[in-house]
Amino acid sequence: MRTKLTVGNWKMNGGLADNAARLGGLAGGWKAPAGREIAVCAPFPYLAQVQSALAGSAVAWGAQDVSAHASGAYTGEVSAGMLAEFGCRYAIVGHSERRQLHGERDGTVAAKAKAALSAGLTPIVCVGETLAERDAGATESVVIRQLAAVADALGGDLGRIVLAYEPVWAIGTGRTASPAEAQAVHATLRARLAGAGARDVAVLYGGSVKAANAAALYAMPDVDGGLIGGASLDAKEFLAIALA
């Protein structure tokens, strides 16, 4: 069985005191059982705090976005090299909130994934359909199109990413894809990955995952873990999901 990876996406939440309590709970509470890994992706200003709070623990950490560019006149952006310089492992790219609220298109997502890999980070590439796309029977074509853009840009490096399937209608809504619905899309993504020589890429599920529903999702053969939003803000709940 593949390792189960559980990644917290704090989104734009947190504060120095809250973070300290949450990070302390994770660093102290995570015993790194075999076959399980966890990571947290925090807002940029808190990454230095995350780095020092998690030093010496088995909890990895990452950013929630990264620039497609290496350096230069890109006001407000943060490069993969800057993140890598102080120990960042992961960068989420193509989250649906970036695609929907910031107009990120498939090509930009692919360029960000490439920039992350070039600096030694692992991009967590998010794909997922909207409710309208699902209702129109377009789930498969949407997620395959989103993955194909990244596969084309990365070529033989595709095997170095983590992929996250996050149906947009399940994010922050309390409405989770059923284990069977998630498995069906994960199997489609796995087949596309395998066709590109990247069968072993971890494929995470995201969208209203909580301790109460994680075990059923994690039991699916092509679900290799989760990308957890709201429930990652509670250290105990997050650790329970990671052990599901």
For the annotated catalytic residues, the residue numbers are: 95, 166
Residue placing its CB nearer to ligand PGA in the complex, 97 or 106: 97
Helices (H), the chain: 16-29, 47-54, 80-85, 96-101, 106-118, 131-135, 139-154, 179-195, 211-218, 235-242
What lies within 8 Å, CB to CB, of 207 at 6+ separation is: 128, 166, 167, 169, 170, 171, 173, 175, 176, 177
Q: Are 133 and 142 in contact (CB under 8 A)?
A: yes
# residues contacting ligand PGA (CB under 6 A)? 13
Residue placing its CB nearer to ligand PGA in the complex, 14 or 207: 207
- Determine the interface stretch with ligand PGA among 67-75, 135-143, 200-208, 213-221 (rule: CB under 6 A): 200-208
Residue placing its CB nearer to ligand PGA in the complex, 30 or 238: 238
Tell me the C-alpha distance between 133 and 189, whole Å. 17
Using the rule CB under 6 A, is 228 a contact of ligand PGA?
yes
Using the rule CB under 6 A, is 207 a contact of ligand PGA?
yes
Residue placing its CB nearer to ligand PGA in the complex, 46 or 169: 169
Q: Work out how close the CB of 230 gets to ligand PGA at its nearest, in angstroms, rounded to a whole number.
A: 4
The residue sitting closest to ligand PGA, measured at its beta carbon, is 229
Tell me the C-alpha distance between 8 and 201, whole Å. 18
Binding site for ligand PGA (CB under 6 A): 9, 166, 171-172, 206-209, 227-231
